[in-house]
């Protein structure tokens, strides 16, 4: 076995001895050794120019790093917004109970599993989500812990099944498209892929199997689309592996004799399917012309997500055939950098990362700077617990984002670029890495790009888990191997950025819209949207909406259109109460303001913010105090701790909110809460602190009566566990199911009798309520 110092030596040799390599060195050490042992860190200090103080400050800043060994398997419990509103906190508690974890413990006694809360796994539509190593479980309930662990353990040691070989291209009967975005993968699209491969192989079908990126219809995953060479395409949603054979057989006839026999069988299957008594796979079929689907897609304008569900993320030829890299050609070969900047300014595009700073002006600032050394950075450190559009764009349209970055570099005169991507997005990292390699091969990167005389290099830099690094000055610190401490602006990165040189930092979504602007012209782009907010915006629509997913709509679309036309309204027949826009920096907008057109200004005016573009729909069963507390616990955890107002203000707000949700607060506490919130907004150093109070201030503004109910010891929606009771009502048939799932034996096992919940023992984990077949458990 290689000893620690040898491993570290090898890693240092590979990553370099400079401070900017520190985060990747630590990532590599942890990857090999499971955690960051002290002796490994000391070794780094002794064999590089990086000081012990720097190593420790970085190793303890980013949440990815562990200074203690973790269990063999990581159980990641998503506590993002969508998961939170669907009960992920209780799921976490259920796992903690299962492993008998005490306060502050995260690893079970056998060292087998380590429990970890993660802010978003990007599968909001499957909420609540739990990921064990690489396996993702969706729609988890508290009583499923044993089931999930058993399933996970049963997978151990299984080998990958035979890989599908592509049918030879001459005789393609059609195309089978399988969604491979994170949602799709999480919902089991990989199983589907295997089933399709097996079916296609065993029937000897001549079809092309194609992996497509995110279609955006995350509420329907996994998605399979059958596109016959002739005839209309059919989209199947919520496909199960066992349905695959039927779906494939319905559209494609196997060629050989033996297969033809099977074909007959399939025909009969088809016959049965159409029988009125049997719903079968038809249940899953979606016709794109069907109303729900067309309204989901119909109101959208895809720019960043152009050709979604159609193009293979990594197929550069396909990207080219759909207009890809035309913008680069136009910019690099036909335009001067100044003209490019002018075009971007003309488009009036504003940064999609949150604050909405005009991108053209940013570009101009960098372009005008005299420093010969300039950089461009793609900010892909999306950390909002309820948003995943950057991940989806990077995963599904890597070339489009790269194209935007290259154009930005050309326009500003930068020679080097970075993709700063959250470490929690491995698929995005992999796709961008592969796409970058392809671009180098195609001379879209490197020396003298496309013969234009312009040279540019780009590489990936993986973040290590710190929401604050989405703030550009913090991001640049991180890029240089430091703690992600923001600093005051000015000087702006455009004047003094990476290594002190002018640096253009643009968000993924902004860059994904650049190629459209350069290809179609600024005029087309700025014809979309409102007076001050042009173009489209991608939102992650999740929460209590019928059809969640990623959507791209013109600026100025109203909240109502998004929720009711695109999202299909509120799920489960409940009432629309509010929408949380912009994640931890955003705010809660009440249903009464649903007709407001969404743009940068209107959101700020309402006390929310474009922020990351998370759009979580809340219904009448959601407690607004709990929502505020949820976001505060996130920002409090993510505060870097540099400035007083954010470090302590977010904490004290959270403390007060906890007091409120426990029914222990008094009226004065609400005044103090508001005071701290206002001052944290006014006095914090960076955007994180300045916007962290928004969820509190907006809920205080629009839902003050709910806060007041808590002062009286009431949670009107029955969400705050300290203020609620579980009770069995008259509908109980004595089936004992609730008693069986209760983790703390608060329900005595009394078959055929009405059950009783011992409120003193009950931990309000909500396991019994969904287990009851008769709706006999009340919460009040």
CA atoms of 52 and 19, how far apart (whole Å): 11
Of 273, 248, 233, which Cα lies nearest the Cα of 198?
A: 248
Q: Which is nearer to other proteins, 165 or 664 (CB)?
A: 664
113 with 75: CB under 8 angstroms? yes
Of 37-45, 369-377, 456-464, 761-769, the segment contacting other proteins by CB under 8 A is 37-45
CA 464/CA 58 separation, integer angstroms = 10
**Can residue 193 be called a binding residue for other proteins (CB under 8 A)?**
no
Nearer to other proteins, 623 or 653 (CB): 653
Cα(212)–Cα(109) distance, integer angstroms: 42
Q: Which is nearer to other proteins, 682 or 754 (CB)?
A: 682
Strand order in the sheet with 73-78: 113-118, 73-78, 130-132, 135-137
Residue 42 interacting with other proteins (CB under 8 A)? yes
CB of 421 to other proteins, least distance (A): 20
Stretch near other proteins under the rule CB under 8 A, chosen from 161-169, 258-266, 375-383, 481-489: 481-489
Q: Is 652 among the residues that bind other proteins (CB under 8 A)?
A: yes
Give me 372's structure tokens.
Answer: 């010969």
In the complex with other proteins, the residue whose CB is nearer, 450 or 678, is: 678
Angle at 125 between CA 322 and CA 390, to 5 degrees: 45
Nearer to other proteins, 54 or 381 (CB): 54
722 binds other proteins (CB under 8 A): no
State yes or no: residue 44 binds other proteins (CB under 8 A): no
Least separation in angstroms between CB 54 and other proteins: 7
The one segment of 39-47, 214-222, 226-234, 290-298 that binds other proteins by CB under 8 A: 39-47
Q: Tell me whether residue 256 is exposed, middle or buried, using C-beta atoms within 10 angstroms of its C-beta: 0 to 12, 13 to 18, 19 or more.
A: exposed
Rounded to the nearest whole angstrom, what is the least distance from the CB of residue 647 to other proteins in the complex? 6
Using CB under 8 A, which of 17, 73, 251, 487 touches other proteins? 487
Q: In the block, which residue shows the tokens 């700063």? A: 420
Kindly tell me which residue out of 582, 649, 687, 693 binds other proteins, with binding defined by CB under 8 A: 649
Out of 11, 54, 125, 212, point to the residue binding other proteins (CB under 8 A).
54
The 607-646 site mask, x for binding other proteins (CB under 8 A), equals: -----------------------------xxxxxxxxxx-
Q: Tell me: does residue 174 bind other proteins (CB under 8 A).
A: no
770 binds other proteins (CB under 8 A): no
CB of 486 vs other proteins, minimal distance in Å: 9
* Residue 659 in the binding site for other proteins (CB under 8 A): yes
d(CA 42, CA 17): 14
Give the count of residues interacting with other proteins (CB under 8 A): 46
Give backbone dihedrals phi and psi of 693, rounded to 5 degrees, phi first: -75, -10
Residue 651 found at the interface with other proteins (CB under 8 A): yes
User: Residue 473: which of 649, 688, 694, 682 has the closest Cα?
Assistant: 688
Structure tokens that stand for 762 in this block: 């009950």
Q: How far apart are CA 328 and CA 319, in angstroms?
A: 13
Contact yes or no for 421/380 (Cβ under 8 A):
yes
Among 2, 51, 290, 666, binds other proteins (CB under 8 A): 51
CB of 369 to other proteins, least distance (A): 18
CB of 119 to other proteins, least distance (A): 14
CB of 335 to other proteins, least distance (A): 35
Within residues 671-690, the interface with other proteins by CB under 8 A covers 672, 675-676, 679, 682-685
Quick check: 68 binds other proteins (CB under 8 A)? no
Please answer whether residues 141 and 83 qualify as being in contact, where contact means their C-beta atoms are separated by less than 8 angstroms.
no
Rank residues 54 and 395 by Cβ distance to other proteins and give the closer one.
54
Q: Please identify, using beta-carbon distances, which residue of 38 and 283 lies nearer to other proteins.
A: 38
CA pair distance 412, 393, nearest whole angstrom: 23
Closer CB to other proteins, residue 79 or residue 466?
Answer: 466
Best CA proximity match to 617, nearest among 656, 655, 575: 575
Asked if 656 is part of the footprint of other proteins (rule: CB under 8 A), the reply reads yes
* Residue from 722, 545, 547, 539 nearest 623 by CA: 722
Closest CA to 81 of 613, 682, 646, 716: 613
Stretch that binds other proteins, among 50-58, 110-118, 234-242, 448-456 (CB under 8 A): 50-58
38 binds other proteins (CB under 8 A): yes
> Dihedral through CA 406, CA 411, CA 415, CA 417, nearest 10?
-40
* 635 touches 693 (CB < 8 A): no
Q: For residues 106 and 639, which CB has a smaller minimum distance to other proteins in the complex?
A: 639
CB-nearer residue toward other proteins: 630 or 726: 630
Output the smallest distance, CB 643 to other proteins, in A.
5
Contact between 53 and other proteins per CB under 8 A: yes
Q: Which helix (H) or strand (E) holds 98?
A: helix 88-98
Q: CA torsion sign, 519 to 520 to 523 to 526?
A: negative
User: What's the token pair of residue 739?
Assistant: 């008693």
Q: Which is nearer to other proteins, 60 or 750 (CB)?
A: 60
Strands (E), 527-613: 536-543, 549-554, 576-581, 587-590
List of residues contacting other proteins (CB under 8 A): 38, 41-42, 45, 51-57, 60-61, 63, 466, 483, 487-488, 490, 636-645, 647-652, 655-656, 659, 672, 675-676, 679, 682-685
């Amino acid at each position: 076995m290689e000893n620690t110092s040898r491993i570290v030596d090898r890693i240092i040799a590979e990553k370099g001895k400079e401070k900017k390599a520190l985060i990747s060195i630590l990532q590599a050490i942890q990857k090999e050794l499971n955690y960051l042992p002290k002796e490994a860190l000391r070794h780094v200090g002794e064999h590089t120019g990086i000081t012990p103080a720097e190593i420790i400050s970085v190793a303890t800043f980013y949440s990815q790093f562990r200074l203690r060994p973790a269990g063999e398997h990581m159980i990641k419990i998503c506590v993002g917004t969508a998961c939170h509103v669907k009960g992920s906190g209780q799921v976490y508690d259920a796992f903690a109970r299962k492993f008998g974890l005490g306060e502050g413990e995260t690893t079970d006694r056998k060292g087998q599993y380590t429990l970890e809360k993660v802010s978003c796994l990007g599968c909001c539509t499957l909420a609540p989500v739990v990921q064990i190593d690489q396996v993702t479980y969706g729609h988890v309930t508290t009583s499923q812990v044993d089931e999930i662990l058993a399933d996970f353990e049963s997978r151990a040691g299984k080998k990958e099944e035979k890989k599908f070989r592509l049918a030879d291209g001459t005789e393609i009967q059609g195309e089978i498209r399988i969604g491979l975005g994170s949602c799709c993968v999480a919902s089991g699209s990989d199983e589907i892929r295997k089933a399709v491969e097996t079916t296609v192989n065993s029937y000897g079908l001549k079809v092309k199997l194609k992996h497509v990126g995110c279609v955006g219809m995350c509420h329907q995953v996994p998605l399979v689309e059958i596109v016959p060479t002739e005839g209309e395409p059919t989209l199947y949603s919520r496909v199960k592996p066992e349905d695959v054979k039927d779906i494939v057989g319905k559209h494609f006839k196997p060629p050989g004799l033996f297969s033809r026999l099977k074909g007959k069988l399939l025909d009969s299957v088809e016959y049965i399917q159409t029988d009125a008594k049997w719903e079968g796979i038809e249940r899953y079929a979606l016709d794109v012309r069907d109303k729900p689907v067309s309204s989901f897609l119909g109101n959208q304008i895809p720019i960043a997500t152009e050709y979604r569900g159609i193009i293979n993320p990594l197929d550069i030829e396909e990207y080219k055939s759909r207009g890809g890299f035309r913008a680069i050609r136009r910019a690099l070969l036909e335009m001067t950098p100044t003209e490019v900047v002018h075009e971007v300014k003309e488009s009036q595009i504003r940064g999609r990362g949150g604050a909405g700073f005009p991108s053209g002006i940013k570009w101009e600032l960098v372009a005008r700077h005299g420093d010969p050394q300039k950089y461009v950075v793609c900010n892909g450190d999306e950390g909002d617990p309820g948003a995943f559009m950057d991940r989806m764009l990077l995963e599904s349209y890597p070339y489009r984002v790269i194209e935007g970055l290259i154009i930005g570099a050309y326009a500003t005169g930068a020679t080097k670029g970075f993709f700063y991507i959250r470490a929690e997005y491995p698929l995005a990292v992999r796709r961008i890495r592969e796409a970058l390699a392809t671009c180098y091969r195609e001379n879209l990167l490197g020396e003298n790009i496309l013969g234009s005389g312009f040279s540019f290099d780009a590489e990936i830099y993986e973040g290590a888990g710190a929401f604050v690094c989405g703030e550009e000055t913090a991001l640049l610190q991180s890029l240089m191997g430091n703690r992600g401490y923001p600093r005051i602006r000015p000087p702006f990165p455009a004047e003094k950025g990476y290594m002190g040189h002018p640096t253009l930092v643009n968000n993924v979504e902004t860059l994904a819209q650049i190629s459209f602007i350069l290809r179609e012209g600024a005029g087309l782009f700025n014809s979309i949207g409102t007076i001050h907010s042009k173009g489209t915006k991608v939102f992650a629509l999740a929460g209590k909406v019928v059809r969640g997913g990623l959507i791209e709509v013109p600026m100025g679309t109203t909240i109502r259109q998004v929720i009711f036309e695109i999202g299909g309204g509120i799920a489960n027949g409940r009432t629309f109460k509010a929408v949380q826009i912009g994640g931890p920096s955003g705010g809660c907008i009440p249903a009464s303001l649903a007709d407001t057109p969404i743009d940068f200004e209107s959101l700020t005016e309402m006390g929310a913010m474009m922020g990351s573009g998370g759009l979580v729909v809340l219904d009448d069963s959601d407690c607004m105090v709990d929502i505020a507390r949820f976001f505060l616990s996130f920002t409090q955890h993510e505060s870097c701790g540099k400035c007083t107002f954010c470090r302590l203000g977010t904490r004290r707000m959270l403390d007060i909110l906890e007091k409120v949700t426990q029914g222990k607060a008094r009226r004065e506490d609400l005044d103090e809460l508001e005071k701290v919130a206002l001052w944290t907004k006014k006095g914090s150093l960076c955007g994180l602190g300045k916007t962290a109070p928004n969820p509190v201030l907006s809920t205080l503004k629009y839902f003050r009566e709910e806060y007041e109910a808590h002062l009286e010891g009431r949670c009107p929606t029955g969400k705050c566990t300290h203020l609620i009771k579980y009770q069995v009502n008259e509908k109980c048939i004595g089936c004992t199911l609730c008693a069986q799932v209760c983790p703390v034996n608060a329900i005595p096992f009394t078959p055929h009798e009405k059950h009783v919940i011992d409120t003193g023992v009950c931990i309000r984990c909500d396991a019994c309520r969904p287990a009851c077949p008769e709706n006999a458990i009340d919460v009040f």
